[in-house]
Amino acid sequence: MAALHATGLVDSGREESFDQLAELAAQLLGAPIALISLVDADRHWNKAHHGTALRELPRDVSFCAHAILQHEPLVIDDTRADPRFADNPLVLQDPSIRFYAGAPLRSREGLALGTLCVLDERPRRIGAQERSILASLSGAVSATIDLRRAMRELDTLAHTDPLTGLGNRTRFLRELGQQLGDAAARPVGVLLLDLDGFKQVNDRYGHPVGDALLRGVADRMAGEVRSTDLVARLGGDEFAAVLSGPVDAAILRRRAGALLAALQQPFDHDGVRLYPRGSIGVALAPRDGLAVDDLLRNVDLALYHAKAQGKGRVSVFVPEMRAAADRERQLAEALRDELGGAGGRSLDGRWQGADEAWGGRDRAPAGLVAGLRETPGAAGGQRPARIAPPAGAGGIELRFQPQLRLSDRSLVGFESLVRWRHPQLGLLAPGDFLPAAESADLMPLLGARVLEAALAQARQWLDAGLRFGRIGVNLAAAQFRGHDIAVEIEQALARAGVSPRSLEVEVTEGVTMGRQAEAVEAALRSLHRIGISVVLDDFGTGFASLTHLKRLPVDRLKVDRSFVMDVEASRDSEAIVRAVVSLGQSLGLEILAEGIQSEAVASRLVTIGCALGQGYLFGGPMTGVEATAWLARRAV
């Protein structure tokens, strides 16, 4: 029966190719009735019927149920003279069959599917030639069935994701297009799900575990939707669902929430326990569009918004999201002009988190995603060959926040924090423009500009005889892709006339992991070898293991401000800070706590054993002029 149902013919509509073969059989064999029958477990169903309206009958009275057991055509000259059929209701009643000749139809594997048969209300005989014609025609029908089955299998392959068995992008787009045809009368919902942190799963545990997780996600999604809904894997770690029936925005939000809850249950595979997380964007037709492209653009924006809000969330599309995306596109175009770079991929792509470290946490907008994330695509554009003007002289400006030794409040250095003075919008915080820079692959150009400006400021301080310790710059993941960042930094130092021992580079845990981990490690080792200090930023918020940390040429760990600010009020935060300090001491690393805003917090950190600090208690982000005056006052 499996072979029969694999053809997709049972209960299908009429098809001209089968109707023509049935009609040809009737003509060549001079019979009033011809059937192409398919014999199922409990019934006989006619795919084509010429000369009769008979479409279906029970298997136990079917002549064809006997014919499929034969290798040659089954011919019954007179049914009333054959004890097997004399009492058959098809003989005694309508259609009063007196003559039957049927040749079996077989699949390419040789399995019986049904028959091509001719019937007559009068007894008759057929000779060898007619039997040969019937057998040849049944072969033609079998070949047609095989062709149709092959086409069906190819269609399935073309529309199925081989890893998960779900529909693929092509199937999703086809189904969505069909559903949208009725969306004016019957709303259609679209969910777009993207796994959070899936790349780290592949990098840490390998692709077999990652593939198993994708299959598990597919099963969980399929278990949360109705049988009439479609779930598809669009590629990578992105899934989608088309939900029909009675849906509105509130229903879609609830169903998406239930899907996230199911997704986030622990997943075990081959001794590895994972805790999947995802973000979901939601859009509703016709409210959010009736064209496939419009609806997908809007649901993609909703997913973008969910990730920007901190991931692990559901976001329903609202028109304001489109306005925000347009603003980001305009910002990217203006920033590209400012940096003089060609840029990279379209802004219709999604960014994966702004680099809070680049802009200073004390002024970062609420909800800004912490840590510089990797963005898809290769970085483009040329690095500026000139030394940048001092901070504040151009559109890209720097602010400098001091870092002090907590025991005696002596200066150990400054962190460089980026701002952009937009021609129309004024001074922008990093959270306002870094997402656009990431989306447009402008981070390498921006990073180069920040480095040049920071070194130019360091040169000014050196010329003025001001001691500033080290000046720190943040390196983005994109700066390690397609560039020898170590060589470029050495060249920038030479142009500025600044010693490598006056520079400090900061990277987040996420930058040091992933497919480019070896390249990042090699670059950091090259920088460390010539005297540049390396800082691991936002420590405690990412995925770095102790083994990973020991392998990196790190001089200092920065404790994320979210733990530092709560160190007095939260036992958990204090425990985390203590653990980081203890780890750093065991590895011979200095610990810097960022986000210090009160003497009480500073005192608690000294008690814990934290050596260095940064925050508004000591000084906020300052312009180059302000930082120069601050240094001069301390020098007196």
The lowest-confidence range among 73-77, 176-180, 454-458 is 176-180
12 versus 234: which is more confidently predicted?
234
Mean pLDDT over each residue of the chain, to the nearest integer: 86
Tokens linked to 197: 């942190």
CATH of domain 169-317: 3.30.70.270
User: What is the secondary structure of 463-501 as a DSSP string?
Assistant: HTT----EEEEE--GGGGSSS-HHHHHHHHHHHHT--GG
Other C-beta atoms within 10 Å of 451: how many? Answer: 27
Structure confidence at residue 438 (pLDDT)? 86
Can you tell me the mean pLDDT for 253-273? Answer: 92
Structure confidence at residue 182 (pLDDT)? 81
Q: Are 550 and 586 in contact (CB under 8 A)?
A: no
Structure confidence at residue 310 (pLDDT)? 77
Q: Residue with structure tokens 């010429």?
A: 50
Assess if CATH 3.30.70.360 describes domain 2-158: no
Backbone region of residue 401 per phi and psi (left: phi > 0; alpha: psi in -120 to 50; beta: other values): beta
Helices (H), 159-168: none
Can you tell me the mean pLDDT for 209-225? Answer: 94
| Secondary structure (3-state) at 448 | helix
pLDDT tens-digit series, residues 110-148: 898 999 999 999 999 999 999 999 999 999 999 999 998
User: Residues with Cβ < 8 Å from 247, sequence gap 6 or more?
Assistant: 187, 188, 189, 284
Tokens linked to 629: 């005056």
What pLDDT band is residue 312 in, cutting at 50, 70 and 90?
A: confident
DSSP code of 190?
E
Other C-beta atoms within 10 Å of 466: how many? Answer: 16
Cross-strand bridge partners of residue 239: 193, 233
199 versus 548: which is more confidently predicted?
199
Q: Give Rg (Cα) of the chain.
A: 36
Amino acid at 8: G
With a threshold of 0.85, does the pTM exceed it? Answer: no
The lowest-confidence range among 305-309, 370-374, 393-397 is 370-374
pLDDT tens-digit series, residues 335-383: 999 998 544 332 233 222 333 445 543 332 222 222 222 222 222 333 3
Can you tell me the mean pLDDT for 607-633? Answer: 96
Tokens linked to 412: 């150990």
Cα 242 to Cα 47, 194, 260, 509, 582, distances in angstroms: 32, 15, 16, 37, 51
Can you tell me the mean pLDDT for 31-50? Answer: 93
Amino acid at 124: R
Structure confidence at residue 156 (pLDDT)? 82
Across 562-603, where does the E strand assignment appear?
Answer: 590-594
Structure confidence at residue 359 (pLDDT)? 53
Structure confidence at residue 152 (pLDDT)? 83
Structure confidence at residue 545 (pLDDT)? 56
84-93 core/surface letters (b: 16 or more CB in 10 A; e: else): ebeebebbee
Structure confidence at residue 510 (pLDDT)? 78
Structure confidence at residue 382 (pLDDT)? 34
Query: Nearest 10 degrees: CA dihedral of 307, 309, 313, 317?
Result: -80
CATH of domain 358-635: 3.20.20.450
Tokens linked to 622: 């300052």
Cα 455 to Cα 314, 437, 460, 493, 537, distances in angstroms: 43, 22, 9, 7, 20
Enumerate the domain spans of the chain.
2-158, 169-317, 358-635
